[in-house]
Structure 1
Amino acid sequence: MIWPAVAILGFVTLQRLTELPVARANTKRLLAHGGHEVAPGHYPAIVALHATWLAALWVQAPGKAVHLLFLALFILLQAFRVWTLRTLGPRWTTRIIVVPGESLVARGPYRFVRHPNYLLVIGEIAVLPLVFGLWRTALIFLLLNAAILTIRIRAENRALRG
């Protein structure tokens, strides 16, 4: 049956498409308040990775059985997503934007982990394919994401140190 996969992937696709305008608006506002983007060169690779991951799932998942344990884990990750994005509020963006004089967010999940959003993305990239039993897809995109996040986290850490 293809409907469970279509419903799940439809939700994730709609979620991502509704987040993009929010991220753009936040980026624009942060830049207008004196912020500057750091290390934009890797950003197209991030966009390509996420688009390809989602496209691969749309091609491979319909008709696959849904593994309820992984679906439950993915739902928990979505709660973590909401918590992380709400904590950042208007400071959340898909780019690395530094506003001089702003202090780091130190509440919500940021009390416990320096980069909770990246942990979330790692989890989502691994778990959503596993919902459909696509362990090879999970592994491939987990490795590709690790390579890109290595670059991104280093750039972000350098920028945050000043």
Structure 2
Amino acid sequence: MTEHLTWYAILVFAVAAERAAELLVALRNARWSLARGGVESGGGHYPAMVALHTGLLAGCLFEAALGERPFIPALGWPMLGALLGAQALRWWCVRALGRQWNTRVIVVPGLPLATGGPYGWIRHPNYVAVVAEGIALPLVHTAWVTALVFTVLNALLLSVRIRCEEAALSAGAPTGGGRAPADVRP
């Protein structure tokens, strides 16, 4: 179990590094959006998002180690595949939104609603990636309590986030929305 736990810790740290890369992209894009008259909405729930997503990473490590959770190949390998799929979907979203992608809800007035990439199929595809990641990452190493707690808290947070984002989008563009917010997680 120790060898599997070491590999799992490396995986969790890799996800943390990916998130750091996201934050760098988001910071650059926030500056771009604000320089073009972008307006931020929903800043009040952003610290809760940061705390929840940081808690997911910590919870994965602590539950797997302290709870002596086993690596079960029949569960772990499919969850790793789902995690990788979620990462691919997230970066597809980042690419589709380009400079408008952000971890905050920032709308640049007048920009059209994104309809390319995954946004041509679903309204909030990055949230699909967030939900999948929040289930898959913990379950790679059977951290089911972390998966359950994150999923419930994330559902509550996303209900606030999506309402905030939809209101900002509908107020931000003359044609009913410009997709500047990222459908994101920090």
Q: Given the two structures, how large is their TM-score scaled by the length of structure 1?
A: 0.94
5+ residue gaps in structure 2? 172-186
5+ residue gaps in structure 1? none
| Aligned residue number for residue 154 of structure 1 | 163
Q: CA shift at 1:6, angstroms? A: 1.8
**CA deviations over 1:72-126 (Å, ceiling 9, x no partner):** 1111122112211111111111000011100111000000100111111111111
Structure 1 stretches of at least 4 aligned residues deviating more than 6 Å after TM superposition: none
Is 1:42 matched with 2:45?
A: yes
Aligned residue identity for 1:56:
G
Q: CA shift at 1:60, angstroms? A: 2.3
Aligned residue identity for 1:151:
V
Q: CA shift at 1:70, angstroms? A: 1.0
| Aligned residue number for residue 65 of structure 1 | 71
CA RMSD of aligned residues (A): 1.3
How far apart, CA to CA, are the structure 2 residues paired with 1:10 and 1:104?
34
For the residue of structure 2 that corresponds to 1:40, the secondary structure is coil
How far apart, CA to CA, are the structure 2 residues paired with 1:158 and 1:84?
20
Choose the corresponding residue for 1:52, options 50, 55, 60.
55
| Aligned residue number for residue 35 of structure 2 | 32
| Aligned residue number for residue 113 of structure 1 | 122
Aligned residue identity for 2:62:
V
| Aligned residue number for residue 123 of structure 1 | 132
Q: Given the two structures, how large is their TM-score scaled by the length of structure 2?
A: 0.83
Is 1:6 matched with 2:3?
A: no
For the residue of structure 2 that corresponds to 1:97, the secondary structure is strand
The question of whether the paired residues in 1 share the 8 Å contact of 2:82 and 2:133 is answered with no
Kindly, what percent of the aligned residue pairs are identical? Answer: 43
